[in-house]
Amino acid sequence: MMLANLDWADRTAFSDSASGLAGADYNYNYSCYGGAHSSERSKWRQMMILVCGGVKGGTGKTTTAVNLGIERARRGAKVLLVDADPDQESLTDYIANREERKAEPSVSVIQVKGVTTSKSLVALSKDYDDVLVDCGGFDSVELRQAVLICQAWVVPLNPTQMQVWTMPKLKEVLDGANAMRGEAQLTAYLLGMRLSTNSLNRARSDLDAVAQEFEGFGVLATVIHQRAAFERAEALGLAVTELEKPSESDRKARDAIAMLHDELFGRQPIAQRTGGSDGR
């Protein structure tokens, strides 16, 4: 572990986190998750720390984290949402709105910030089935800390030139984490997010090209289109999967989040476990 070369890391926190993982028999080789590997899921521990993060604002990180977290809770998991954005508290505000409206299921949210983020996440994870972390849209210490110990890193990305320009910085963050993770190397997965419904094939091709250019990145099969359903759900403190009397567009947004959940976590409700793409 090249701790001496990475001055952004809290070395004590990482060392404590790493020893905590080992002590808990915590398998963080979960970075090879996905629908294609569902037959191997029984080998893995059920709990997962999943990071939604990037280095550009407005890409849909909070939208992804909150919709995925609520859907995970609807499937029976005990979920913790972590607001790791030091500048904004969008995730916290979203769940506060949900609580005011007494929406069920209830989902816990906590704020975690600073150089002890990795240590905090490991400690918190012991009490939950899954932990979903929403990091701010910039190169933050919280993002770098979170990817040290997560099992999955999802990067929402619309492959426009402005967003593609962030890839070298994302790769720097990924490479820095993997330099410290030893054998538990992490793959960052690009999620096509806020895509136009008129350019799906091109967007898929562009995402594949980006992943091929930057080693260590993969592409999720699910894509999320830009739909008004997400704004409507946000105003109500809901996930799009909870909207009543959904329109056709709402149903497509709902189906996309359900597909993303299944791609990341598998299809079975957690109580039954032993171990796609959004149409236009």
Question: Is residue 79 assigned to a domain?
Answer: yes
Q: Give the per-residue pLDDT at 225.
A: 92
Q: Report the interhelical angle of 228-236 vs 61-74 (nearest 10°).
A: 70
Question: Is residue 161 assigned to a domain?
Answer: yes
Question: Is residue 181 assigned to a domain?
Answer: yes
132: nearest Cα among 78, 182, 96? 78
Query: What's the burial of 212, exposed, middle or buried (CB within 10 Å: 0-12/13-18/19+)?
Result: exposed
Bridge partners for 49 per DSSP: 131
Residue 156's pLDDT band (cuts 50, 70, 90): very high
The domain in which residue 38 lies consists of 28-272
Number of domains in the chain: 1
3-state SS assignment for residue 145: helix
Buried b (16+ CB within 10 A) or exposed e, 27-47: ebebbebbbeeeeebeebeeb
Question: Is residue 23 assigned to a domain?
Answer: no
Q: Give the per-residue pLDDT at 1.
A: 23
What is the percentage of the chain residues whose pLDDT exceeds 90? 66
Residue with tokens 């947004």: 253
Q: Give the per-residue pLDDT at 46.
A: 56
Question: Is residue 17 assigned to a domain?
Answer: no
Q: Which two tokens stand for residue 262?
A: 């299944």
pLDDT at 41 over 70: no
Which strand (E) or helix (H) includes residue 134? Answer: strand 130-137
Buried b (16+ CB within 10 A) or exposed e, 84-113: bbbeeebbbebbeebeeeebeeebbbeebb
Least-confidence region, from 7-16, 59-68, 239-248: 7-16
* Intra-chain end-to-end CA distance of the chain, in Å: 46
| Higher local confidence (pLDDT), 46 or 9 | 46
Q: Give the per-residue pLDDT at 172.
A: 97
- How many CB atoms lie under 10 A from the CB of residue 138? 17
Q: Give the per-residue pLDDT at 201.
A: 79
Q: Are residues 153 and 216 in contact, defined by beta-carbon separation less than 8 angstroms?
A: no
Cis peptide before 105 (omega within 30 of 0): yes
Contacts of 44 (CB under 8 A, 6+ apart): 27, 29, 30, 33, 275
* 76-99 pLDDT, tens digit each: 999 999 999 988 899 999 999 999
Q: Give the per-residue pLDDT at 88.
A: 86
Residue 103's pLDDT band (cuts 50, 70, 90): very high
pLDDT at 279 over 80: no
Mean pLDDT, the chain, as a whole number?
82
Contacts of 110 (CB under 8 A, 6+ apart): 80, 81, 82, 83, 124
| Higher local confidence (pLDDT), 246 or 199 | 246
pLDDT at 30 over 60: no
Q: Kind of pairing, strands 130-137 and 79-84?
A: parallel
pLDDT at 27 over 60: no
Average the pLDDT over 134-163 and give the result.
93
Average the pLDDT over 2-19 and give the result.
32
Residue 17's pLDDT band (cuts 50, 70, 90): very low
Residue 105: give its domain's CATH number: 3.40.50.300
Q: Give the per-residue pLDDT at 110.
A: 97
Residue 278's pLDDT band (cuts 50, 70, 90): low
* 109-128 pLDDT, tens digit each: 999 999 999 999 999 999 99
Question: Is residue 278 assigned to a domain?
Answer: no
